[in-house]
Chains A and B, each alone.
Chain A
Amino acid sequence: MNADILSLSYPLTRLVLWLVLIFAFIGLNALILVWVERKVAGYVQLRPGPLHVGPIGLLQPLVDAIKLMAKQLVTPAAGDKVLFWAAPLLAFAPVTVCFLPLPFDARFNPLPMNLGLVLILSFSGLGVVSLCLAGWGSNNKWSLLGAARAVSQAVAYEVPLLLAVMAVAITAGSLDLYAITAKQGGWPWQWYGVKNPLAFFIFLVCAVAETNRAPFDLPEAESELTAGFHTEYSGMGFGLFFLAEYANMIIVSGVAAALFLGGWQGPFLPGVWWFLVKIYCILFFIIWLRWTFPRVRFDQLLNISWKWLTPLALLDFALAVVVAGLGG
């Protein structure tokens, strides 16, 4: 075998290595994130959260994952088997690719591309297809309602998300996350989040809506639709949806950290740590939102997007264009 193919300079080797690292990263972070969510939920509700499995409950997500893997996989009798089982796989598949453009540090760049943002936005749109398939393939009216809600919600919140991201891209002059991060500095006043707070706010709201998190978690509204689109899934099917939701949260926080919070830039610590700290700050905020607010009603959700966020995002985009055009 050609010795070159094993060296780190060979692009394919680097890519494969990075994909393996990403899988490991997603797995580890999903476990940690599950623990963080349950602990934060517990402390907000004045109770301890997971406590008994491992020290302060750290092994709880691991044990839960083992439990999910051991469960029986049940297919609804009259459901479409192919669609039903394609849905969780399709939910999880695009997630891996979306991690590639995230700028963990200035030195890492597994797949140099100048359209990192476009890659992330397009692949995260695939997640909605999986919700559709899940809702239809379950042969369950509640799941169908959940899937229908998910589609309208995803479509509605893509538009302001894109516009907010474009505003930042225009200001930075590039669609490459590495370039956008490099244009910012380590201190808060150098971040785009401070220079363009409206875009940051719109991005956060759309991010929460795109990942189906409360207060926008209608597709999986636990108290109305029993469990929405993933009602019929048990065991690893549910596990994959769960994993995909947390991975999506991490991706979206990663994009927010890169676009608005200066990414890897920061004093004292090496870049990777700053990136992770910023991601976890945003994640903590998203989790905090979930455990505080009730759910928005469906038509109110669409109203917020089409009547408020989209015009504001357009305004912001126009302003960014003007400022950039004036040589700012």
Chain B
Amino acid sequence: MSVPEKLREVLTGLKSLAIGLGITGRAFCEKNVTVIYPKEEVDNLASFHGHVELVGKEEAPDVPRCVACGACAKACPSSCLHILCPVPAKEGDEGPVKMGPAPQKGSKTPGQVILDYSLCSLCGQCVKTCPVDSLRFSHHAYFVATDRKAFTLDLMERLRRQALENCL
């Protein structure tokens, strides 16, 4: 390559370096985009899919709409939902009532709804499969715990607590 061409190439190169410095220099003077949690918070959590939670009945918000059919537990790819209902006692069985997975004969409401969130992949199949729309996604984005057991959620307990808070 001839000398003036080479020189022009070098000058273009140096100019590109200067332009790059200009861009980062301008960024240096601009406002930061960081949202410094917990002083500030993001504003779009309303569409965030946190773990699922139960939906209460209109007339009794602390009672879930759930009819203990077990469809959600069956639809889940990771088997993280456990709907437990009292097992009808067999003839001659004495002793405390045992809990078993839904559906159980004679149970129209769940005894316990346990979600093992550490297995959940937030696919939403449980929400979609529920025939009575008893499950929905919460917006719980800042879920932090020091113990793994905290991720096994008692959803009925959560519903009752939410109903109480909404009443107050």
User: Taking the nearest CB of chain B, how far is it from the CB of A14, in angstroms?
Assistant: 42
Which one, B21, B29, B32, B36, contacts A292 given CB within 8 A?
Answer: B21
Chain B residues with a Cβ under 8 A of chain A: 10, 17, 20-21, 23-25, 27-30, 32-34, 36
Contact A46 B32 (CB under 8 A): yes
B33 partner residues in chain A, CB cutoff 8 A: 46-47
B32 partner residues in chain A, CB cutoff 8 A: 42-43, 46-48
**Counting CB contacts under 8 A, is A45 at the interface?**
yes
9 inter-chain pairs at a CB distance below 8 angstroms, sorted by A residue, are A43-B27, A43-B32, A45-B27, A48-B34, A288-B25, A288-B28, A292-B20, A292-B23, A292-B24
Beyond A43-B32, A46-B34, is A288–B21 a contact (Cβ under 8 Å)? yes
Give B30's nearest chain A residue, CB to CB.
Answer: A46
B27 partner residues in chain A, CB cutoff 8 A: 43-46
Chain A, 37-65, contact with B by CB distance < 8 Å: what is the 0/1 string? 00010111111100100000000000000
Q: A43-B29, A47-B34, A291-B24 are in contact. List 9 more A-B contacts (CB 8 A).
A: A42-B32, A43-B28, A43-B32, A44-B27, A44-B28, A45-B27, A47-B33, A48-B34, A293-B20
A40 partner residues in chain B, CB cutoff 8 A: 28
Give B33's nearest chain A residue, CB to CB.
Answer: A46
Give A291's nearest chain B residue, CB to CB.
Answer: B24
B24 partner residues in chain A, CB cutoff 8 A: 44, 288, 291-292
Give B10's nearest chain A residue, CB to CB.
Answer: A308
User: Taking the nearest CB of chain A, how far is it from the CB of B97, in angstroms?
Assistant: 53
A293 partner residues in chain B, CB cutoff 8 A: 17, 20
A48 partner residues in chain B, CB cutoff 8 A: 32, 34, 36
Contact B36 A51 (CB under 8 A): yes
User: Whole-angstrom distance between the alpha carbons of A70 and B160 in the complex?
Assistant: 49
Give A47's nearest chain B residue, CB to CB.
Answer: B34
User: Whole-angstrom distance between the alpha carbons of A51 and B36 in the complex?
Assistant: 10
User: Whole-angstrom distance between the alpha carbons of A52 and B24 in the complex?
Assistant: 25
Give B25's nearest chain A residue, CB to CB.
Answer: A288
A292 partner residues in chain B, CB cutoff 8 A: 20-21, 23-24
User: Taking the nearest CB of chain A, how far is it from the CB of B53, in angstroms?
Assistant: 33
User: Whole-angstrom distance between the alpha carbons of A292 and B27 in the complex?
Assistant: 11
User: Taking the nearest CB of chain B, how far is it from the CB of A208, in angstroms?
Assistant: 12
Interface centre among A46, A48, A308 (most CB of B within 10 A): A46
A45 partner residues in chain B, CB cutoff 8 A: 27
A291 partner residues in chain B, CB cutoff 8 A: 24
User: Whole-angstrom distance between the alpha carbons of A46 and B28 in the complex?
Assistant: 7
Interface centre among B17, B28, B29, B32 (most CB of A within 10 A): B28
User: Whole-angstrom distance between the alpha carbons of A289 and B22 in the complex?
Assistant: 11
User: Taking the nearest CB of chain A, how far is it from the CB of B31, in angstroms?
Assistant: 8
A51 partner residues in chain B, CB cutoff 8 A: 36
User: Whole-angstrom distance between the alpha carbons of A282 and B33 in the complex?
Assistant: 28
User: Whole-angstrom distance between the alpha carbons of A248 and B25 in the complex?
Assistant: 24
Considering the complex, which residues of chain A in the window 258-295 have a beta carbon less than 8 Å from any beta carbon of chain B? 288-289, 291-293
User: Whole-angstrom distance between the alpha carbons of A43 and B33 in the complex?
Assistant: 10
User: Whole-angstrom distance between the alpha carbons of A65 and B30 in the complex?
Assistant: 30
Give B34's nearest chain A residue, CB to CB.
Answer: A47
Give A49's nearest chain B residue, CB to CB.
Answer: B32
User: Whole-angstrom distance between the alpha carbons of A51 and B24 in the complex?
Assistant: 21
User: Whole-angstrom distance between the alpha carbons of A48 and B20 in the complex?
Assistant: 21
User: Whole-angstrom distance between the alpha carbons of A43 and B25 in the complex?
Assistant: 9
User: Whole-angstrom distance between the alpha carbons of A289 and B21 in the complex?
Assistant: 7
Considering the complex, which residues of chain A in the window 303-323 have a beta carbon less than 8 Å from any beta carbon of chain B? 308
User: Taking the nearest CB of chain B, how far is it from the CB of A293, in angstroms?
Assistant: 6
User: Taking the nearest CB of chain B, how far is it from the CB of A284, in angstroms?
Assistant: 10
Give B14's nearest chain A residue, CB to CB.
Answer: A201
User: Taking the nearest CB of chain A, how far is it from the CB of B124, in angstroms?
Assistant: 33
Chain A, 249-260, contact with B by CB distance < 8 Å: what is the 0/1 string? 000000000000
Interface centre among A44, A48, A288, A289 (most CB of B within 10 A): A44
Closest 7 CB pairs of A and B: A292-B24, A47-B34, A43-B28, A46-B33, A44-B24, A44-B28, A292-B20
User: Whole-angstrom distance between the alpha carbons of A293 and B10 in the complex?
Assistant: 17
User: Whole-angstrom distance between the alpha carbons of A125 and B155 in the complex?
Assistant: 68
User: Taking the nearest CB of chain A, how far is it from the CB of B37, in angstroms?
Assistant: 11
A289 partner residues in chain B, CB cutoff 8 A: 21
B36 partner residues in chain A, CB cutoff 8 A: 48, 51
